[in-house]
Amino acid sequence: MEGPAWEVLATSATVQYFHTGHLTDVLSSSPWVAPSGGESHDNKGAENSDGSTVSNPLFESPPEEVSVSLYLESDPETLVVVAVPRWLSDGEIWEAAFGTCSKAFGPFQGILVNVNDCVDLVTSAIKAKRVDLFNIMSRRLTAYLRSVSPSYNFEGHTGGFPRKVEALGAVSRDGGDRVKKICEVGFNAGHSSLNWLLHSHPSTKILAFDLGEHEYMRHALDFLQAMFPGRLEVLIGDSSVTIPAYVVAEAAAGREPQGCNILFVDGDHSEDGAYADLVNFRAMASR
């Protein structure tokens, strides 16, 4: 019997992860790729002759769910499908996987050993898909910046450090909707903010402080604000000045400046500069 097109094929010992193409790889598309002169062809909002909106994969929103389907070699006709919000914590993903796998391979079927196998496979595959999603969105961001100006030379960024991406993502996922605001110093090309936006609850706001010395920073901000409307704000200037100024302005407006549940400093990498950012951020830390 011909089965469905699996997203994950697995035996009890090995995971084979296949990217199924439900996330568009925009690097294989061409409508927005800039010509050699650097003019942007991002046709966001453009219309066809019939008035319909031009479809541009560059500006497709990321999926809200990460899903995997699998079967075990010992019972190949039982398909297990687990779909979870992309911002769910690792513990919550384990619970969702255990609940689904228990129903599919529970003791009443006499295959109890397969429950643990199933849970391990599901959690491993979801982790792989989260990495896949961040990498695709990161390539979109970088490709968009290249389409604006092919000559941009980016500084090192979060996207180049997979362990950092996973660690920071876990911090925001574990907080769930309790994380109301994430504050960071050092927006640069937006990759760390992208990670926060992908892996935090949709209600979470991101506030970033950046020196603004690179022109691509503003284009990165435009891209991420289009992808995640209403969730990202960047204040430009020397953080040793803008952070204290922000605290004063919030207090003067009658708002509580101590609203940052996660604080991340990755701007001035000198010892004095990083220390100053940490000290100034103290006034913004949630109590």
Task: Pinpoint the alpha helices (H) of 149-266.
Answer: 162-175, 191-199, 216-227, 239-252
pTM of the model: 0.77
**Domains of the chain, residue spans:** 8-147, 154-284
Best CA proximity match to 266, nearest among 234, 236, 239, 241: 239
Q: How many CB atoms lie within 10 A of CB 99?
A: 12
Q: What is the pLDDT of residue 40?
A: 35
Q: Which amino acid is at 3?
A: G
Instruction: Name the stretches of the chain with pLDDT < 50.
Output: 1-46, 54, 110-112
Superfamily the domain 154-284 falls into:
Vaccinia Virus protein VP39 (3.40.50.150)
